[in-house]
Amino acid sequence: MGSMRYGEDQVSLVAGTAAAVHELNEEQRAALDACVVAALALSSGEGEAQGRMRLLMECHGRYVRSFGVLEQAPSYEVFADRIRGSRVADLLPGRPERSVLGELWLLDDDGMPSSALHRLAVEASEHGHQAPGIGADIRHLHSLLRAVGMLPAGAGMSRITGETVQHAVFRSLRAAGFEAYTRGREVMVRTPVLTRRELSRNSALVELGAYTGISPTRQFGGLWAACPMCGWTMRAAYRPNGAVDLECEDERHSLLGARYRAEPTAAEGWRLAPRGELRTVPELRPMEGCVALPYALWLWVTLPGLLEVELRDRLVALGAQVRLWPFGDAYDLHVARPGRSRVWRVDVKTWADPYGLAQKLREDPEGPGELCFVVPEHLRGYLPLLRREVRGSGARVLTDTDLVAEVEGA
Average pLDDT, the chain: 86
Residue 232 contacts residue 225 (beta carbons within 8 Å): no
* C-alpha 41 chain-centroid distance: 20
pLDDT of residue 211: 95
Residue-wise pLDDT tens digits, 379-402: 899 899 888 888 888 889 999 999
Task: Report the phi/psi class of residue 222: left, alpha or beta, with left for phi > 0 and alpha for psi in -120 to 50.
Answer: left
Residue-wise pLDDT tens digits, 105-131: 999 888 888 878 888 888 888 888 888
Residue 108 contacts residue 117 (beta carbons within 8 Å): no
Q: Which residues contact 311 (CB under 8 A, 6 or more apart)?
A: 333, 346, 348, 374, 400, 403, 404
Q: Quote the CA–CA distance of 138 and 157 in Å, as a whole number.
A: 9
Q: What is the pTM of this model?
A: 0.86
Residue-wise pLDDT tens digits, 48-76: 788 889 999 999 999 999 988 767 888 99
* DSSP 8-state symbol, 401: H
pLDDT of residue 351: 72
In the chain, the N- to C-terminal Cα span, in Å, equals 43
- For the segment 350-375, the average pLDDT, to the nearest whole number, is 69
Considering only residues 389 and 369, tell me which one the structure prediction assigns the higher pLDDT. Answer: 389
Decide if pLDDT at 136 tops 70. Answer: yes
Of the ranges 173-182, 340-349, 356-365, which one carries the lowest mean pLDDT score?
Answer: 356-365
Decide if pLDDT at 297 tops 90. Answer: yes
Decide if pLDDT at 93 tops 60. Answer: yes
Residue-wise pLDDT tens digits, 152-185: 555 555 667 788 888 889 988 988 888 889 999 9
- For the segment 225-236, the average pLDDT, to the nearest whole number, is 95
| pLDDT confidence tier of residue 2, bands split at 50, 70 and 90 | very low
Considering only residues 390 and 262, tell me which one the structure prediction assigns the higher pLDDT. Answer: 262
- For the segment 221-241, the average pLDDT, to the nearest whole number, is 92
Q: Quote the CA–CA distance of 48 and 56 in Å, as a whole number.
A: 13
DSSP calls for 15-73? HTHHHHHHTS-HHHHHHHHHHHHHHHHHT---S-HHHHHHHHHHHHHHHHHHTTTTSPP
Residue 281 contacts residue 246 (beta carbons within 8 Å): no
pLDDT of residue 6: 47
Residue 337 contacts residue 320 (beta carbons within 8 Å): yes
Q: What percent of the chain clears pLDDT 70, i.e. is strictly above it?
A: 89
pLDDT of residue 86: 92
Decide if pLDDT at 355 tops 90. Answer: no
pLDDT of residue 65: 93
Give the three-class secondary structure for 259.
strand
Q: Quote the CA–CA distance of 299 and 18 in Å, as a whole number.
A: 13
- For the segment 228-255, the average pLDDT, to the nearest whole number, is 90
| pLDDT confidence tier of residue 17, bands split at 50, 70 and 90 | confident
Q: Quote the CA–CA distance of 131 and 187 in Å, as a whole number.
A: 29
Give the three-class secondary structure for 213.
coil
Q: What percent of the chain clears pLDDT 90, i.e. is strictly above it?
A: 48
